[in-house]
A = this chain, B = another copy of it.
Amino acid sequence: MPSTNLTFSSAAEHRAWLSTQAPLPQGFRVGTTRFEFIPREAPKLAKMTLTLIALDQPTPDFAAVFTKNAFPGAPVIVGRTRLGEPTLGAIIVNNKISNVCAPGGVETAERICAQTAKLLGISSQQVLPSSTGVIGWGLPEESMIDALPKAVEVLSGDNIIPAAEGIVTTDLYPKIRRAVVGQGSIVGIAKGAGMLEPNLATMLVYILTDLAIPRDQLRAMLKRVVETSFNTISIDSDTSTSDTVALVSSGKVPCDDTTAFEQALAQVCRDLAEDIIRNGEGVHHVIRVAVTGAPDSTIARSLGKAIINAPLFKCAVAGNDPNVGRLIQAIGKHVGAQNLQLDLSRLRVTIGGVEIFANGAFQLNPAKEDQLVAHLRNAELYASAPDKDGFFAPPVKFPPHERCVEISVDLGVGNGNATVLGGDLTHEYVSENADYRS
């Protein structure tokens, strides 16, 4: 599934690699600015970054998909209307506050778009807003409008790193992936760490390309590609109210091979999806579950998701504990709860290539246990190191490697396949999320 098999021994080394992914496609500039403000709802100093992605000329060729949460954020509500506009000229993103169900949230988002547009000399309907962060608070509209000129002032066509860094919240490092197609390129950045499950996640993804692909084709491609990338991942089964994947073409470079373009786009999205999981809140292990032999791919995916969202199994993986009983429990729970009529006697399950279940029974012995432990340890990203107060902060700010816990689940009854990605459940996740706003 991943296109790379990288290892990094330091943040500097990771940063050097990111810079190879970062050249902006033609026709785009990015600028960011950071400022302090006092939220109304919890009066103490907070920081926000505004990230502006601007096109040299507005383009008709843009696409976006949004969260399925029934309480979409104001920027998502506004963003859906933007899809009906003839052209897009800029994207304005803020972190820290997500502008979800806050009184007057839509009006605030529109005023920020209008101010952005004014500074860029375009119309507000040409600006797509995005917000991520605390749900429920209102945006600091005045502070944001005061900060906007600075973001415009620093706009640069050099590389996408400032934007990749600007959109993050609890992410440990920026995420950038690039693909070259002919004379053009596709460059994507992603933000996402928790509240992450299918149907998009607390996930903001912006994909820029200079390759010319007409709007309708671009939108159809994005829909297909999201299905097999961002919609196959889950950190914690929570679905954010702000999820957005936007794809914008400046049209500066002719594209004579749309198949190659879609393949490259798919790879960028799959790699970013895996990056998001690897940098998921508290993730020590990326868990990849390949389900095969299902009656159809929908069942295959839902079963895969049930496994990567099973808390007890996720905890066992965190402890490098091959507690295979919890894996089978998760499969059995899903099959029982969904009342799927499956002949489970044909089920075959492996972890790291080691068969642990077949012919209706566990296939275990002490030698296998050792192999399973070794596989889990090999896939571990880092070990926990609590501070003296018992707070667990991840000790690394880069991805040390791209190895996964590899689980295969063959139902042996049909041709439905799906591969899903998730993470384990750790003290770092609890530390991050029991004390997130303080």
Binding site for B on A (CB under 8 A): 41-43, 67-72, 98, 100-103, 105, 134-137, 194-195, 197, 199, 236-241, 309-313, 315-316, 318-319, 321, 323-326, 328-337, 340, 342, 344, 357, 360-362, 364-366, 369, 384-386, 390, 392, 425-427, 429-438
Interface of A is mostly: loop
Contacts of A310 in B (CB 8 A): 237-238
Partner of A71, one of B100, B237, B332: B332
Contacts of A316 in B (CB 8 A): 433-434, 436
User: Which of A70, A437, A438 counts the most chain B CB atoms within 10 A?
Assistant: A70
How far is it, in angstroms, between the C-alpha of A24 and the C-alpha of B40 when the chains are bound?
Answer: 59
Contacts of A333 in B (CB 8 A): 69-70, 197, 238-239
Report whether A135 and B325 are in contact in the complex, using a CB–CB cutoff of 8 Å.
yes
Contacts of A331 in B (CB 8 A): 70-71
Q: Which residue on B lies nearest to A136, using beta carbons?
A: B325
Closest Cβ–Cβ distance, residue A360 to chain B (whole Å): 7
Contacts of A433 in B (CB 8 A): 311-312, 315-316, 319, 425
Partner of A329, one of B239, B315, B329: B239
Report whether A70 and B332 are in contact in the complex, using a CB–CB cutoff of 8 Å.
yes
Contacts of A426 in B (CB 8 A): 430, 434
Report whether A102 and B361 are in contact in the complex, using a CB–CB cutoff of 8 Å.
yes
21 inter-chain pairs at a CB distance below 8 angstroms, sorted by A residue, are: A69-B332, A98-B325, A101-B362, A103-B361, A135-B326, A136-B324, A136-B325, A136-B362, A195-B329, A237-B310, A237-B311, A238-B326, A311-B311, A315-B430, A316-B434, A319-B433, A321-B438, A385-B390, A425-B434, A427-B431, A427-B434
Report whether B43 and A427 are in contact in the complex, using a CB–CB cutoff of 8 Å.
no
Report whether B195 and A238 are in contact in the complex, using a CB–CB cutoff of 8 Å.
no
Contacts of A72 in B (CB 8 A): 332
Report whether A436 and B71 are in contact in the complex, using a CB–CB cutoff of 8 Å.
no
Contact (A329, B135) CB under 8 Å given A369-B42, A433-B315: yes
Report whether A41 and B336 are in contact in the complex, using a CB–CB cutoff of 8 Å.
no
Closest Cβ–Cβ distance, residue A291 to chain B (whole Å): 15
How far is it, in angstroms, between the C-alpha of A436 and the C-alpha of B311 when the chains are bound?
Answer: 13
Contacts of A369 in B (CB 8 A): 41-42
